[in-house]
A and B are shown apart, each in its own frame.
Chain A
Amino acid sequence: MRNKIFKNYPNVILSLSKDDRKSEVTLRQAQCDNLRPASTYFDQGGQAQCDNVILSLSKDDRIEKSHFDRLSVTKVFNLSVILFLLFFTSILSAQPKFSEMSVKPGAFSRMGFGPRGIGMGNGLSALTEGNLVAYYNPASSVFQEGNSFQTGYSFLSLDRALNFLNFTRKFEFRSSKAENLGRPASVAGISAGIINSGVSKIDGRDNNGLKTKELSTSENLFFLAVANKFSEKFALGLTVKFYYYKLYEDITSTGVGFDIGAIYKFNENFNVSFMLVDLNSKYKWDTSPIYGQQGLSSENEFPLLKKIGIRYNNPQNKFLLVAEFENSNVGTNILKFGGEYNIYDGLFLRAGVDQFNLSNGDWAVKPAAGFSYLYNLDGYLIGIDYAFMLEPYSSSDRHIIGVNFNF
């Protein structure tokens, strides 16, 4: 299964001589047998290449091919993280200005999915490398290599829970004609997942201030996405989302919403994406079981988000950058950006910025950073992920850990 991705070589290698190609392919095959990369990059023809260090090239060749060496990239990465932290920490004392987004339901569903996405600032809608999840774009599942299984657990202040579970894979359908060309006739993808959140240890009190009981809530998002690759350059996907909120005793609400996403690959380096998030998503409440005649029937609509994303991938230097602009129908215009750098075999560093609201300078910007380490165990890739995100005004910041499997 894994060897299928090496049947066709990236375009960049076609410029080399036949012998060079042979030797490089041999080496790349050997390295990829040792370590399955976390980010299996694709060229514009949809062909994958292993992102391991190309040992067949001389040092000089590597320098010539690269715009920066590993050390310089590391320095830039570290400096960026430090600058982010210093800059954004310095503005936390500013007086916050209200934005309607903060009183829209489903805040948990806009906090990101898993350590990888959160570590890159959550602007992943154009990403097509590595472990993918329809949360960021349902169209991305057609680019998933192997079977990707991801889990995540968040350490949040004030007894908040935020947990992730996802499975993504693609399906290649071949015709005899296509088989002759070595390419699938069509590619589809699915991605299914859960985001579980909630708050526990809520201090229940009556109108005299007396303790009643400890309260807790549970808010969940179940999603299933399907996608189709209409050409080597274009993929489109749809996510069906089911929200379930258990708020208090018998008071619950459910909602069904949709995401639509598209990805267009300009070339090997650039992808663009477009997303519509939370079409039709809403909570409906009826509190008459608690309050009787004074109960209230209400409906709270989720904000409709429109996203445009871009991804720049530089496989030669083993880094990628993502950025996303998110507009909502409640007046926010949010910028998200981040990057990932494969600093060492199996080790990926990440940094990003989330919630840079162009419409509200007081909106709490949330810088993030993280890493992943992947290990090949008998053909199975096992990864450990971690992300850290600043959370202004809270009592502590966010820490997200995760495990991913690719098989």
Chain B
Amino acid sequence: MKKIFLFLFIIILSNINFSQVTNYKVGELDDRLNKSSSLNPTSNTIIDIIAIGDTIWLGTSRGVSVSFDKGETWTNFYGRSDFGTDNISAIGYDTYTRTFWCATAKSQEVTGGQTLPAGSGLKYTNDFGNTWNSIPQPVDGQNDNQIQYGINNLSALPVTVTVQNLCYDIAFTPNTIWIATFAGGLRRSTDNGQTWQRVVLPPDNKNSIAPTDTLDFCLAPVGGSFCSVGNLNHRVFSVIALNDSTVLVGTANGINKTTNANYANPSWVKFNHQNQDNPISGNFITALAYNNTSNTIWASTWKAEDPNEFYGVSFSSDGGLNWQTTLYDERPHNFAFKFAQPIVLTDNGAFRSTDFGQTWILPNSIVDNQTGAQLRSNVFYSAAVTGNYIFLGSDDGLARLKENIGSVWEGEWKVYLSSQPLNSDEEVYCYPNPFSPRQELLKFRYSTNGQEEKVTIRIYDFAFNYVATVIQNASRITDNEGAPDFWNGKDDNGNYVPNGVYFYRIEIGDKDPLFGKILVLQ
């Protein structure tokens, strides 16, 4: 499950060029993607993770990656006509049919020069990525301005464009796929996406609806000439299925629950900050999750419009009737569970609780036990658990923990950092560039040609005055695809350097030093 701001940020800011390691076509059909095998995923921005046994699916800023051996090797799907340079906005796995789904989106400039995300469709594979089927982003026709809900014929604002109509979350009930598409609302399909049905949710001023109620409202995410009033509850961000018939839908107005999801017209009950004695912290539901072990619903409940709302995590053990709140002021992106222990992913780390939300534990440090590579970012978007393996997806890499039995965040870490191979032993580069020290680490890529060498990396200013030492006479064995070294953007006094251009000098053994440029943009 995703949240809109995460995706908005990624889709607007990412500037992705197409580049691949050795790849090969799978078959000759246009609806198949290029795929490549690698030790790393193709992207360091991991939007979502799904783990099923030894199979790990990743939705990233550069397509889909899958591992069939718990992350030892990866197959990456990215490029060609099906994916192009679109971002992955959501992934889902249909356990009923063993089908993997992903949704894609891209940035689109609209009138006024503003750049907004636009859905570019969905893709699914039921043979582990050997073949893919593409589905266009569902939109309404110009005349789709009426919708039948039980005894009611409601007005509905046709959503005829893909801008702001993109899939942020996917869920499954038997023979049905559900998608949360923000302005496009909640939609479902019973024919693998060939046709879609708009699902009616309660308006903002009602806490529940049923097909037998007499209703008069407009199904519209925004007000205007057609519908005078728009509904925040028709802006849909998240959806999960608790079982074959129970679906929860997160919107900008709370959490909607149905227990007859397979009906033609499901009835809905809405939980929000205003309509319960023990409510959720905020009405903006950016993520939902269900813990089968503890039978608990977890929600990322951001502040919406009411000043009394607040950011945090809300969880319910009675199906949503009563909520407890925790992690005040944190803005979660997603959830995962190891047995009954929740893992909450936020901009400040991967929080984990062993006492049902009373206290939270963060990983000390994430350092690859084999390579020494570090995942230094605190911005985590996703996580998944399979057995004693925990995968954490961040904005700056993927980590895998083979956790010691009975411990929390202790075990053997493996860090995956995507980067482009060096073209030669004489090439060096650093990334990201521009580099924002408070948000990320700068990575230096260089090669020692597989030999152990003493390496020194230093930073200088425009006049080549000394600024900082990254490493000094450190033993390194790396090659064109080796692990990088990191600079935190601080000088030798421990202060962040000001904006500007800096130069790095890499000394590898007795070779001539190599140089490069860094653009620091705080």
Contacts and interface: CB of A to CB of B under 8 A. Distances in A.
Interface of A: 96-105, 107-108, 110-111, 157-160, 197, 199, 201-213, 215, 217, 219, 245, 247-248, 251, 253, 283, 285, 287, 290-292, 294, 296, 298, 300, 362-364, 391-395
Contacts of A104: 498
Contacts of A102: 460-461, 463, 465-467, 491
Q: Main SS of chain B's interface residues?
A: loop
Interface residues of B, number: 58
A392 B432 CA distance: 27
Contacts of A294: 439
A291 to B, nearest CB: 7
A107 B462 contact: yes
Contacts of B430: 203, 205
Q: Which of B395, B501, B505 has the most CB of A within 10 A?
A: B501
A-B pairs with lowest CB-CB distance, top 9: A209-B419, A98-B492, A102-B465, A205-B431, A96-B466, A300-B498, A107-B463, A107-B462, A209-B420
Given A291-B436, A393-B460, A393-B464, 10 more contacts: A107-B463, A203-B433, A203-B516, A207-B396, A208-B45, A209-B418, A285-B522, A298-B499, A300-B498, A392-B464
Contacts of B407: none
B13 to A, nearest CB: 8
B19 interface: yes
Contacts of A103: 461, 467, 491, 495, 497-498
Contacts of A197: 462
Contacts of A108: 462-463
Interface string B325-367: 0000000000000000000000000000000000000000000
B480 to A, nearest CB: 12
B458 interface: yes
A248 B493 CA distance: 26
B44 interface: yes
A201 B493 CA distance: 29
B445 interface: yes
B23 to A, nearest CB: 15
Given A209-B429, A210-B420, A364 B464 contact: yes
A283 B458 contact: no
Nearest to A102: B465
Contacts of B464: 364, 391-394
Contacts of B82: none
Nearest to A160: B462
A317 B14 CA distance: 66
Contacts of B462: 107-108, 160, 197, 199, 219
Nearest to B18: A210
A96 B457 CA distance: 12
A287 B433 contact: no
Contacts of B493: 98, 100
26 contacts: A103-B461, A105-B499, A107-B465, A108-B462, A157-B515, A199-B517, A203-B433, A204-B433, A204-B434, A205-B431, A206-B16, A206-B17, A208-B418, A209-B431, A209-B443, A210-B17, A215-B433, A217-B519, A247-B499, A248-B521, A283-B499, A285-B499, A287-B499, A298-B522, A300-B499, A394-B460
B500 interface: yes
Contacts of B498: 103-105, 283, 298, 300
A172 to B, nearest CB: 38
B500 A105 contact: yes
Nearest to B464: A394
B431 A206 contact: yes
Contacts of A283: 498-499
Contact of A292 (B9, B396, B497, B515): B9
B438 interface: yes
B43 interface: yes
Contacts of A217: 500-501, 519
A81 B50 CA distance: 69
Contacts of A211: 17, 19, 420
A291 B8 CA distance: 12
Interface in B52-67: 61-62
B458 A208 contact: no
B370 interface: no
